[in-house]
Amino acid sequence: MNLSKAKIEAKKLTNELNKHNHLYYVENNPTISDYDFDMLLKRLQELESQFPELADENSPTKRVGGDITKKFETVVHKYPMLSLSNTYSEEEIEEWVTRVKKQVEDDLEYVCELKYDGVAIGIQYVNGRLKQAVTRGDGSQGENVTSNVKTIRTIPLTLKGDFPDDFEIRGEIFFPLNNFQKLNEQKREAGEQEFANPRNTASGTLKMQDSKVVAERGLDCYLYGVYGTGDLRDGHFETVQKVADWGFKIPSEQKRFIEKTNSIDGVMDFIHYWSEERGNLPFEIDGIVIKVNKYHKQEELGYTAKSPRWAISYKFKTERVETTLQEVTYQVGRTGAITPVANLEAVQLGGTTVKRASLYNADQIAKLDLHENDRVFVEKGGEIIPKIVGVNLDVRAKDAKKIDFIHECPECKTELVREEGEAHHYCPNEKGCPTQIKGRIEHFISRKAMNIDGIGAETVDALVEAKLIENYADLYTLTFDEIYDLERMADKSANNLLKGVEVSKNQPFSKVLFGLGIRFVGETVAKKLVKSLKNIDNLMNASFDQLIEIDEIGDRIAESILAFFEDEENKVIVARLKSYGLVFEIEEKENSSSKFEGKSFVVSGVFTAFSRNELKELIEINGGKNVGSISKKTNYVVAGDKMGPSKLQKATDLGITILSEDDFIALLNE
């Protein structure tokens, strides 16, 4: 295929992908399967790899991320991003309406909108193409986070229709609650501290250096403020409706995310409705924004130094209830982490009955200065997790006893430890603490690990209590006669258990590795380790330096892996699992060799015959190792077009062999 034909096909694919992306993410009305979409995207990626000049900065292929930003550029806002006056009082909303009416005597229209609890963003489009996206910052200047914003599927990269040549649209980027909960599940599985709330996590995600991680997290955005469009429409509500035609995801009038009214009664109805219904939204809001609709009325009302006079924000009071702290109990996780839990007198909060609240760690108990039988104030942190936010000291008994964090494991009475820099206390008795033993086995059999049907938490408890198993390797030595004698275990149940154990031997290496329960080694980390090191022997023998060279493996993960395999008992368990037929290696692909054994490569730039991923795959199947950055330990740099000059200079200064694409192919074919 020549460039001319490739250009035509690439443009057609881009238009088709943009159309299907909008149908799926904005209109929630997909017309093709995920597979078909992925095939179209793959074809465009192939064309852009073959013809780098076709790789447009706003191509649909940018949605998956991959850009690395070391420092975000500071950008001055063309239109200052002012904050709004806030109130928690309906009376003050009425007073605001009265003031507005005095200044603008004739009838007024108001627009009511949800106040999304996220990160404000201003996005500039020039000639229908996304040019830059900037955070609010201090209102006069913010940070350029364009690469990360491009990964958000609901934000169009190119527009359709009769859009202006140059304008800015503003909105709020937020974390959908389902995606936030999935992210915290991954954190739990990896033994890492969970994120506190969606708003802060959205803010942190938007400023991450690796846009690929941003893409994986699934942020979303509603856009609702338009600047620099001239007399597009005569009011805010009408303009917001219009920009939907250009491809933007706007607040839905049908879902009452936005509403126009000409009375204070209409404003109050909107506030009251969402005061009751906000808990049913798939994202968080923290209030309602009320604006004067007509632009010429906004100009007449003007601004204060900090905020517009034509808009005000009504903020919901965080729902808080008072109840009695009955006792603090302590949970032991599979990694030995001790989590204190407040057991409360049952109380209604956010439409649910709350009996327990997390206290996170010893520092939180000390910060709250909790005493026995305290009357405590409870809120839902991030509208999800109940938490104690304070104590009613006015009713505390004078002889109330202070609650001190425990010193011994509640399960095995082992003295707890707390390492420097750690938030949690830990029970170090990994091999003898019953809860840790059961927790590790439950993790091993879980769906995301070995996925063993026929075994649940109750069965694990029964097997451990009967001393039939002491670790997950013992599952593979169980016999029908042993488990048939367990309580509530009939023929069918016993056979299903044994069948599930046998089938699990087919699980891939990454699942087995995740199932071992090495601290900080979650699903993603396990896949990275498997891809890089190929088999369990390589992993067990890897040095600290080898481990941290692997993508996404930091010091803490590397140290945890080394500690796990330094334990002789763990080595014995792994050896047993290997002998039972579990998979501890990945199959080498055809045409593989060891010609690059012991050699490390950095691949950078744009190539003609291969994509970067294809080059990296060729390196790996021939025994080499891909590393992310150039160091004196790097053997080769495969340099393509548009490779960064600083990276090229560093390789030259270190005397590293620099290969062109043709040089690499020649080396491969030697």
Quote the CA–CA distance of 367 and 405 in Å, as a whole number. Answer: 12
What is the rounded end-to-end Cα distance, in angstroms, of the chain?
Answer: 29
Residue count of the chain: 670
Burial of 492 (0-12, 13-18, 19+ CB in 10 A): exposed
- Kindly report the number of other CB atoms within 10 A of residue 399's CB atom: 7
CA neighbor of 628 nearest in space, from 539, 553, 546, 550: 550
CB 90 within 8 Å of CB 315: no
Is position 115 annotated as part of the catalytic site? yes
Exposure string for 230-241, b = 16+ CB within 10 A, e = fewer: eebbebbbebbb
CB 181 within 8 Å of CB 384: yes
Quote the CA–CA distance of 468 and 134 in Å, as a whole number. Answer: 60
Q: Which of 11, 42, 115, 578 is catalytic?
A: 115
The runs of H, that is alpha helices, within 171-280 are 177-189, 198-206, 211-217, 236-243, 264-277
Q: Give the DSSP per-residue string, 551-615.
A: TT--HHHHHHHHHHHHSHHHHHHHHHHHHTT---B-PPPTT--STTTT-EEEEESB-SSS-HHHH
Burial of 228 (0-12, 13-18, 19+ CB in 10 A): middle
Look at residue 281 and give its three-state secondary structure: coil
199 residue type, one letter = R
Quote the CA–CA distance of 584 and 450 in Å, as a whole number. Answer: 13
Catalytically active residues are 115
